Amino acid sequence: MGSLELRHLRYFVAVAETGSLTEAAARRLHTSQPSLSRQIRDLEHQVGVDLLSRSVRGVELTEAGRVFLAHARAIVMQVEASVEAARRAAQPMRRTFTVGFLTGLEPTWLPQAMEALQDRLPNIQVVVSSDYSPNLADALTRGRMDVAFMRAEPAYPLEYVVVEREPLIVLMPRDHRLATVDAVSPRELIGETFIGGSNKAGVLQAVTEDYLRRRGIDAAVDHGVDNMAMAMSLVASTRGLALMPAYALGLLPQSVVSRPLEGPTPTIEVVMGYSRANTSPVLKLFLRRLSAVEPSNSG
């Protein structure tokens, strides 16, 4: 039996993330299922414990497998980041600087981002990307992105600089009964169709749940949303209320209005995320310039 190799880790991560040997083999790894099963058995033999339990529903991680996955994923990401860094170093004349945005934050932060890079634009190509925060964190960790305006994702080994604390506001249909009030009491959320963050919007979900718990409000989330467009659509279609960050103000359709919360208002942080392993001088300059900048339409 050979030693533990990087491909074993890649295969294991793919199986763990898809929950299926068949799907991982066909869609992620482009290999045969028997070959993949053999590689996983080799890995378990090397580690000395069962990492997966097999059932009619597919495969599930054992407790040992859950622990192993966190380390395996970090190793794979670090190797990919090293490869990306080497490729960038080998192409000094074609330098790119990739900036990511949590979808919806572009109108607020893209102008400042471009202004901070203005004197470097003749020498670099700026690439702009929008995605969910966990996907941005993944890209930063793997070395595929330089910096991102996002939510802090504690599951990833990244550095974060807080650039803004956005208050949460209440979104509602334009003709909702609460549209006549100046500020919404949190107790008004009880009994209404309530829209909040999904697991993909984990930071928003956590801030909302903490706020409701501290105010003694038992308002279960009826619909969990991943992004602001989904929130707007559900507010309009279900005639429900949504607790969303204030950047929603720049995105409201005519059918949706907003009101502030009454009393102490919960806030959610906008951060610049980056990897400490990224030694780009452009990144250092960018962080220094942006750390002292106010958002362009924070009110």
Instruction: Tell me which residue of 184, 173, 189 sits closest to 253, measured CA to CA.
Output: 173
Q: Flag whether pLDDT at 89 surpasses 90.
A: no
Question: Model confidence at 201, in pLDDT bands (50, 70, 90)?
Answer: confident
Amino acid found at 215 = R
The secondary structure element, H or E, covering residue 53 is: strand 52-55
Q: Helix, strand, or coil here: 58?
A: strand
Question: Model confidence at 261, in pLDDT bands (50, 70, 90)?
Answer: very high
Q: Flag whether pLDDT at 265 surpasses 80.
A: yes
CATH architecture of 6-80: Orthogonal Bundle (1.10)
In whole angstroms, give the CA distance from residue 65 to residue 19: 12
Could you tell me which residues are beta bridge partners of residue 102? 131
Question: Model confidence at 75, in pLDDT bands (50, 70, 90)?
Answer: confident
Task: Classify burial at 80, counting beta carbons within 10 Å of its beta carbon; exposed 0-12, middle 13-18, buried 19 or more.
Answer: middle
Instruction: Determine which of 8-17, 77-86, 184-193, 276-285 has the lowest per-residue pLDDT on average.
Output: 77-86
Q: What average pLDDT does range 163-170 have in this prediction?
A: 92
Start and end residues for every CATH 3.40.190.290 domain found in the chain = 164-268
In terms of CATH, what superfamily is 87-162+270-290? Periplasmic binding protein-like II (3.40.190.10)
pTM for the model: 0.65
In whole angstroms, give the CA distance from residue 3 to residue 108: 50
pLDDT digits (tens, 9 = 90+) for 137-161: 999 998 999 999 999 988 888 999 9
Q: Flag whether pLDDT at 200 surpasses 70.
A: yes
Start and end residues for every CATH 3.40.190.10 domain found in the chain = 87-162+270-290
Start and end residues for every CATH 1.10.10.10 domain found in the chain = 6-80
Q: What average pLDDT does range 242-251 have in this prediction?
A: 86
Q: Flag whether pLDDT at 297 surpasses 70.
A: no
Characterise 31 by phi-psi region: left (phi > 0), alpha (psi -120 to 50), beta (else): beta
Mean pLDDT of the chain: 85
The predicted structure's pLDDT at residue 298? 42
Instruction: Tell me which residue of 274, 284, 18 sits closest to 150, measured CA to CA.
Output: 274
Q: Which fold has domain 164-268?
A: D-Maltodextrin-Binding Protein; domain 2 (3.40.190)
Contacts of 228 (CB under 8 A, 6+ apart): 103, 104, 244, 247, 248, 251
Question: Model confidence at 293, in pLDDT bands (50, 70, 90)?
Answer: low
The predicted structure's pLDDT at residue 160? 95
In whole angstroms, give the CA distance from residue 275 to residue 292: 20
Strands 159-173 and 256-260: antiparallel
Q: Flag whether pLDDT at 92 surpasses 80.
A: no
Which 8-state DSSP code applies to residue 121? T
Q: Count how many Cα atoms sit within 13 Å of the Cα of residue 264 in the half-sphere of its side chain.
A: 6
Q: Flag whether pLDDT at 93 surpasses 70.
A: no
Q: Flag whether pLDDT at 204 surpasses 60.
A: yes
